[in-house]
Structure formats: C-alpha cells, structure tokens
Amino acid sequence: IKRSLSTSSPMNAVIKNVTVIGGGLMGSGIAQVAAQTGHNVTIVEVNPDLIKKAEDSIAKNLVRVAKKLHKDDPQAANKFVSESQARIKGCTDIAEAVKDSDLVVEAIVENMDVKHKLFKNLDEVAPPKTMFASNTSSLSITEIASVTKRKDRFGGLHFFNPVPVMKLLEVVRTPETSQETYEAFMAWGKAVGKTCVTCKDTPGFIVNRLLVPYIAEAIRMMERGDASPRDIDTAMKLGAGYPMGPIELADYVGHDTSHAIMQGWHKKFPDNPLFKPNESVQKLIDEKKLGVKTGEGFYKYT
Ligand code: CAA
Ligand code: NAD
C-alpha cells in the first residue's frame, strides 16, 4: 500500500476559514491538514497550555511531513512548515474564534452532554453562514445537531488517527443535511487531501461499526487467555495484513475514547454482544492508563 500525504491541494472556494474545537489527538491533526492545504485555522482549547501543546504537536508532525515532501530541499521544507504554522492561531474564546468562520469542526470529548453544551453556545455566536461538523466516532450526528437551529448546515466529518497520514474522510449526512452543505463538505475533504466516502448517520458510520467490535473481540480473546496480546497483534499483522494489531490499535486510539464508544452503544443496544464493554479497559481507565497518549495502556510507551 502506498501512502501519500495531504499537501497543497487547491483551496476550496466555499470554505476558507476553519475553526477546530479541541486541540487533542484529532483536533491538532485536523488543524494541521487544513493549514498545510492553505486554509486559515483557529484552534479552540480550554486553556492556553493546551493550545501550546496542540501547536507543539503540530510543529513536530509538520516537520515529518515537510521532510518527506522536500527530501532534498531543506529550505523548501522550512518554508512549508513556517507557512503552515502561520495559518494557525489558538484561541480560548469561542465567540472570537468563530466570528468569520466558514466551517467549525468539533473534536472534543466523546460525550453527548458536553457536545450539546458546546453546539448550543456555538449556534448563538457563529454567523449564519458557518457550517458545523462533528468528528464524533460513535454518536448520532442528528442528535448532536438537535440543539442548533442550523440542522441543514450540520453534518459529520469523521477523520482517522493519525490525521496527517490516514487518507480517508467519512462525510456523514443526516436527513436534514442540505445538498449544498454535503457538497461543500465533500469538496473541502478533497481540498485537505482526503478521499471521501459518504455514509448515513448510523452508529460508527462505516469504519468504526466494523473496527470497534473487532478490537473489543480481540481484547475479549486476551481476557480469556486464549492468546497473548503480542501474539494477537502479530497474528493480525502477518495473517491479515493490518498495519497494527488490534491491541496496539486500542492503545493508539485511546481507551477513554473507545470505552465511551462502547458504553454508549451498549446502553442503546443492550442485546448486542458485540457492544459489551471490556472489563480490562475499565481497569486501565481507572489506573489512568489511556494508551499511547498517557505513555501506557495494554503496552508501555517510552
Ligand atoms: N504525522 C505525520 N506523519 C506521521 C504521523 C503523524 N502523526 N504518524 C506517522 N507518520 C508517518 C511517519 O513519518 C512515516 O513516514 P515514512 O513512511 O515516510 O517514514 C509513516 O507515517 C509511517 O510511520 P511509522 O514508520 O512511524 O510507523 P508505521 O509504518 O507503523 O505507521 C501508522 C504508523 C500510520 C500509524 C500505521 O501503523 C497505521 O496505519 N496504523 C493503523 C492506524 C489506524 O487504523 N487508524 C484508525 C484508527 S480508528 C480511528 O481513527 C477512528 C475512530 O473514530 C476511533
Ligand atoms: P482528546 O482527548 O485527545 O482531545 C480532546 C480535546 O478537546 C482535549 O484537548 C480537551 O481539552 C478539548 N476540549 C474538551 N472540551 C472542550 C471544549 N468545550 N472546548 C474546547 N476544547 C475542549 O480526544 P480525541 O482522541 O482527539 O477525540 C476527539 C473527538 O474525536 C471525539 O469525539 C472522538 O470520538 C473523535 N475521534 C477520535 C479518534 C481517535 O482515534 N482518538 C478518531 C476519530 C474520531
């Protein structure tokens, strides 16, 4: 499989100014690909320290991308990094961050109440032209949009981790998403260098509906002691051609995020055994071992 990078696609006509809410694992990646393809980006975080953290992570990943794009030209690589960085600013004030925004992409915690609170506020302060999107992994876009008065300008834009590397973008339309919004989302996805697929507003859309139960099944296999985590990972890498095994992928996604997904689906669909949360994941969360992002999950990361 040949991987290519999101770089300098032509800038989308409708969407020029993008606000990314949440500068964590996903938000920082989304901000990066938007900035490196010529969009003006504002990242919103809860405090200045977290903005700094997002900017540092973006700087590191931009250097990785630049090295690949401009292998033999360090000057061009530096220019790419500094120009991309110059298009990004951080902000802790929502109203200020959206005042000239064409598109808001939300990438905060996977919790409906918290997302509702955010979008209710956003709907009041954002100009009418601003389209809203959620990067939720598992929640209903229709339900998230329900607290706003712009359901026609609302949809899902679901990116994959690591955002600068993964080529896919799922564009999710609710029954109320307008054709105009859908087309603007598809064009923007292409402009940030992604291949877009379309999905209805169903739990987990395409990828997570398949991937999340697969990871949970692998953890159940480990919990039963049928095979060691290393062997499960090796088996799926060498026997099924996956770039990462399911246990390391669980650490990579983050146990807080994947557990929130499973708990939400389990509550909604209690009879589906595929959606039963894993006890060992709960234990990791209690111990604050959330995976790669905290330095330890099922495996340790130095
Ligand atoms: N930013 C920029 N570049 C990055 C990067 C980042 N964050 N992370 C990795 N890269 C680049 C590396 O520089 C490297 O480039 P070269 O090949 O040119 O050297 C390339 O990507 C490969 O990286 P590594 O050599 O470090 O390691 P790898 O070959 O094992 O690849 C991986 C790492 C891309 C993460 C790969 O293991 C992979 O594809 N894993 C599966 C990831 C996956 O399934 N993601 C989806 C998770 S589910 C989800 O996101 C949805 C949800 O809602 C939960
Ligand atoms: P994360 O914990 O790394 O980042 C979330 C960030 O949002 C944190 O930095 C937090 O400070 C910030 N935040 C929380 N509330 C906020 C608010 N009201 N205003 C501004 N910032 C706020 O989480 P993540 O892994 O980036 O996930 C974010 C979203 O993306 C979730 O909905 C998740 O389901 C989804 N998602 C995650 C993955 C993944 O692999 N982790 C992949 C695709 C989608």
The pTM score is: 0.94
Is 80 exceeded by the pLDDT of residue 93? yes
Task: Tell me which residues have their CB closer than 6 angstroms to ligand 1.
Answer: 61, 64-65, 68, 137, 160-162, 164-166, 208, 211, 243-244, 249, 253
For a ligand 2 pocket test, name from 19, 26, 137, 212 the mutation site with the most ligand atoms within 8 angstroms of its C-beta.
26
Write down the pLDDT at residue 8: 47
Ligand nearest the Cα atom of residue 27: 2
Ligand 1 atom at minimum distance from 160 CA: 50
Report which bound ligand comes closest to the CA of 254: 2
The interface predicted TM-score of the complex, written ipTM, equals: 0.96
Per-residue pLDDT band for 302 (boundaries 50, 70, 90) equals confident
Domains and CATH numbers, the chain: 17-200 (3.40.50.720), 207-291 (1.10.1040.10)
Q: Which atom of ligand 1 is nearest to the CA of 252?
A: 47
Range in 7-21, 114-128, 151-165, 178-192 with the lowest mean pLDDT: 7-21
Residue range 129-170, pLDDT digits in tens:
999 999 999 999 999 999 999 999 999 999 999 999 999 999
Structure tokens at 231: 């062997």
Question: Sorting pLDDT into bands at 50, 70 and 90, what band is 7?
Answer: low
Out of 55, 106, 110, 170, pick the active-site residue. 170
**C-alpha–C-alpha distance, residues 174 and 236, integer Å:** 34
The model's pLDDT over 213-272, given as tens digits with 9 standing for 90+, comes to 999 999 999 999 999 999 999 999 999 999 999 999 999 999 999 999 999 999 999 999
Task: Please provide the average confidence, as pLDDT, over all residues in the chain.
Answer: 95
Report percent pLDDT > 90 for the chain.
Answer: 95
Q: Which of 87, 127, 80 is nearest to 103 (CA)?
A: 127
Which atom in ligand 2 lies closest to the alpha carbon of residue 53? 9
